[in-house]
Chain A
Amino acid sequence: MMPRGGTLLRRIPWTLVVFLAALIVPWLGSRYDTLIATLIAIDALFAVSLNLLLGTTGLVSFGHVAYFGIGAYICGILMKTYGVAFTLALPAAALGTAAFALVFGFFCVRLIRIYFAMLTLAFSQIIWAICYKWNDVTGGDQGLPNVPYPDFDWLSSVPWFGDLRVDDQFYLLTIVIVALSLAAMQRIIGSPFGRMLTTIRENPERAAFIGVNVRAYELAAFVVAGGFAGIAGALFGISSRGVFSDFVYWPKSAEVMIMTILGGMEHFWGPVVGAATLVLLNDEITSYTEYWPLVLGIILLVLLFVFPGGIVGGLVAGVRRLRRRAGRRAGA
């Protein structure tokens, strides 16, 4: 028999609660809180898009930052250099990034395991080199400063929203876009296509044996993950008021991977928890010490050796153990 508390907790639509809580941040928190919340939302989207490869399909991509960066550059260049509206620039960034992911992914999925990781890393460094050197388009090492915010004038007559600061308005837009993207990804993972990706993760040989084109499925996952990473990058470029070549540098690929593992890659919401934890920890720890990388390295070691399932994995295992104990007591 299920304990009553369990069913009650289960009945609460947690996703909706988190979404609504995120929406009211601008009215309750300070400007700084909004900034942190924006970062969390963007990193959460980025990490979930990586997890579509890492956790769902079992592809270790060490170059996911390339697609984040491409999205940021496409959106930034369109909005700043050509004055394109955000409503066009964002889809263009998503589609453009997906196109890059299609080309690079085509070569990457021919390789397996560690070789796949190496090639994704290599392509991300190619993108970095181009962004770092192509002064005329990407601004080179100076980057593209002053990417404009989307136009929020239409909001000015709306009560409640009109008198918000522009970064608060952008935060609300970010939350909505991230929520829609996460919902879309959850649908994709739950669809027959997503199930097949998990099958491929579990046993690629068997999947191939029953007639599945493993590479095509992997490539499709790569493209979808790339597109969503591009959306995250586009949002990040605007929220950080500029696009710089650092966005594409390889350690950032490792960082998003740490977020994913920290939260737990076996659960859809794991990377979201990981992103939130890491952003908040970073904010807390950098106020005490400049040695954030050291702390992050130690967290990573503890994670690898003690909690390989991440936070969500650990929580789920803990709850399961408690429930089993309760069940045994009820049965006795």
Chain B
Amino acid sequence: MSALFGQFLGGLTTAMFLFLIASGLSLVFGVMRVLNFAHGSFYMIGAYLAWQAVQWLRPLFGNFWLAVLAAALGVALLGAIVERLLLRHLYGREELYQLLFTYALVLILGDAVKAAWGTQQLSVSTPPILVVGLDVFGATLPSYNLFIILIGPAIAVAVWLILTRTTAGRMVRAAALDREMLGALGANVGLIYTGMFVVSSFLAGLSGALVTPIQSIVPGMDVSIIVDAFIVVVIGGLGSFWGTFWGSVIYGQVLSFGILIFPGFSLFSVFALMAVILIVRPWGLFGRPLR
């Protein structure tokens, strides 16, 4: 029983990590209809910046959290530059060009990371407060994982509150529904788009920074994570924020229990799940049918 529960917690940790990454992807797609391949690159840069900041901040107390914040802010700044300088010129164009633009970023940022930090593995040690193991109903859970399991829903609720309860959130939802009408009503749609992209980049940088204590930092982590994040978004339904949340929960559990059922084929079980969902409901679990 406790073994199964441990498996469940492991799946939940994976799920919440994926949610942190996929949430930004989902927000940008939902509002701007841009499928951002470079989201994985932002995640990777977040991890590298966190490592760099930890090196620089070593003499300071509590440096890990400062490093995480610095990394997320750094990636947000990068996102702002990319959106303002380049991406905004492509909004009216076909999806193909937007897709390829974000892929060009993947190529460029991937090599930039290699040039800056080399190709060897880097790692960051877990902050001392969160190294202890916790006993949860007989299963041992590293407290860092518990922290991740808690921060996922916290961010989900925060984003949801912002989207539904604030003026800025209303604007964002309006922009997702009808960009022209919102512009005609006098809102600065360009600014909303920039803001959305910056928030999304911030989330990518944050998740990249937070993953450093439990995963080594290597080039190539961008290309492998982005497809997982896509799958989560597709399962949940493109453009649906809560769909992304539940999509990542399902992904994490299927991956985690898939290992028990088909050892060696857990990756396949996730893809099979996605295929089934897309065949039955092509618009995803929480998405709306599209025309």
A129 touching B100 by the CB < 8 A rule? Answer: no
* In the bound complex, CA of A250 to CA of B222 (Å): 12
Contacts A112-B290, A118-B238, A294-B111: A300 and B100 contacting too (C-beta < 8 A)?
yes
Q: What's the least CB distance linking B40 to chain A, in Å?
A: 11
A sample of 22 cross-chain residue pairs with beta-carbon separation below 8 angstroms, ordered by A number, consists of A60-B95, A117-B95, A118-B35, A121-B227, A121-B230, A122-B230, A122-B234, A125-B231, A125-B271, A126-B272, A126-B274, A129-B267, A129-B268, A130-B268, A257-B96, A291-B115, A294-B111, A297-B107, A298-B104, A304-B100, A304-B101, A305-B89
* In the bound complex, CA of A118 to CA of B112 (Å): 27
Taking a contact as CB atoms closer than 8 A, the residue among B101, B112, B290 that contacts A115 in the complex is: B290
List B contacts of A293 (CB < 8 A). Answer: 107-108, 110-111
Q: Which of B223-248 contact A (CB under 8 A)?
A: 223, 227, 230-231, 234, 238
Q: Which of B156-171 contact A (CB under 8 A)?
A: none
A258 touching B100 by the CB < 8 A rule? Answer: yes
Chain A proximity mask over B42-56: 1 for CB below 8 Å, otherwise 0: 000000000000000
In terms of DSSP, what is the predominant structure of the interface of chain B?
helix
Q: Which of B273-291 contact A (CB under 8 A)?
A: 274-275, 278-279, 282-283, 290
Residues of B within 8 A of A (CB): 33, 35, 37, 86, 89-90, 93, 95-97, 99-101, 103-108, 110-112, 114-115, 223, 227, 230-231, 234, 238, 264-265, 267-268, 271-272, 274-275, 278-279, 282-283, 290
For the complex with contacts A114-B33, A297-B108, 15 further pairs of A-B residues with Cβ separation under 8 Å are A115-B238, A118-B230, A122-B231, A122-B271, A122-B278, A126-B274, A130-B268, A133-B264, A133-B265, A250-B227, A251-B106, A257-B96, A297-B106, A298-B104, A300-B101
Q: Which of A119-146 contact B (CB under 8 A)?
A: 119, 121-123, 125-126, 129-130, 132-133
Q: Closest residue of chain B to A250, judged by CB?
A: B227
Q: What's the least CB distance linking B61 to chain A, in Å?
A: 39
Q: Which of A79-129 contact B (CB under 8 A)?
A: 107, 110-115, 117-119, 121-123, 125-126, 129
List A contacts of B230 (CB < 8 A). Answer: 118, 121-122
A257 touching B100 by the CB < 8 A rule? Answer: yes
Q: Count the A residues whose beta carbon is within 8 Å of the partner chain — how many? A: 39
Contacts A118-B35, A122-B275: A291 and B101 contacting too (C-beta < 8 A)?
no
* In the bound complex, CA of A251 to CA of B102 (Å): 12
B103 touching A119 by the CB < 8 A rule? Answer: no
Q: What's the least CB distance linking B278 to chain A, in Å?
A: 6
List A contacts of B90 (CB < 8 A). Answer: 304
* In the bound complex, CA of A115 to CA of B103 (Å): 17
B100 touching A261 by the CB < 8 A rule? Answer: yes
Q: What's the least CB distance linking B94 to chain A, in Å?
A: 8
Q: What's the least CB distance linking A252 to chain B, in Å?
A: 11
List A contacts of B265 (CB < 8 A). Answer: 133
A54 touching B103 by the CB < 8 A rule? Answer: no
Q: Closest residue of chain B to A114, judged by CB?
A: B95
Contacts A107-B278, A122-B275, A122-B278: A297 and B100 contacting too (C-beta < 8 A)?
no
Q: Which of A219-254 contact B (CB under 8 A)?
A: 250-251, 254
List B contacts of A261 (CB < 8 A). Answer: 96, 100
* In the bound complex, CA of A257 to CA of B279 (Å): 26
A119 touching B264 by the CB < 8 A rule? Answer: no
B282 touching A60 by the CB < 8 A rule? Answer: no
B278 touching A301 by the CB < 8 A rule? Answer: no
A296 touching B101 by the CB < 8 A rule? Answer: no
Q: Which of A182-226 contact B (CB under 8 A)?
A: none
List A contacts of B104 (CB < 8 A). Answer: 297-298, 300-301, 304
Contacts A119-B278, A122-B278: A129 and B89 contacting too (C-beta < 8 A)?
no
* In the bound complex, CA of A246 to CA of B92 (Å): 34
* In the bound complex, CA of A129 to CA of B270 (Å): 10
A308 within 8 A of B: yes
Taking a contact as CB atoms closer than 8 A, the residue among A121, A133, A296, A304 that contacts B97 in the complex is: A304
* In the bound complex, CA of A301 to CA of B282 (Å): 32
List B contacts of A250 (CB < 8 A). Answer: 223, 227
10 tightest CB-CB pairs across the interface, nearest first? A297-B107, A294-B111, A297-B108, A300-B104, A126-B271, A293-B107, A297-B104, A254-B103, A129-B267, A291-B111
A60 touching B96 by the CB < 8 A rule? Answer: yes
* In the bound complex, CA of A301 to CA of B90 (Å): 11
* In the bound complex, CA of A150 to CA of B244 (Å): 49
Contacts A297-B108, A301-B104: A133 and B268 contacting too (C-beta < 8 A)?
yes
List B contacts of A125 (CB < 8 A). Answer: 227, 231, 271
A269 within 8 A of B: no
* In the bound complex, CA of A304 to CA of B97 (Å): 7
Q: What's the least CB distance linking A104 to chain B, in Å?
A: 9
A62 within 8 A of B: yes
Q: Closest residue of chain A to B114, judged by CB?
A: A291
B264 touching A126 by the CB < 8 A rule? Answer: no
* In the bound complex, CA of A301 to CA of B107 (Å): 11
List B contacts of A107 (CB < 8 A). Answer: 278-279, 282
List A contacts of B114 (CB < 8 A). Answer: 291
Contacts A122-B234, A293-B107, A300-B107: A54 and B267 contacting too (C-beta < 8 A)?
no
List B contacts of A254 (CB < 8 A). Answer: 37, 100, 103
Q: Closest residue of chain A to B226, judged by CB?
A: A250
B275 touching A126 by the CB < 8 A rule? Answer: yes
* In the bound complex, CA of A297 to CA of B106 (Å): 8
* In the bound complex, CA of A122 to CA of B274 (Å): 8
Q: What's the least CB distance linking A49 to chain B, in Å?
A: 17
Q: Closest residue of chain B to A261, judged by CB?
A: B100
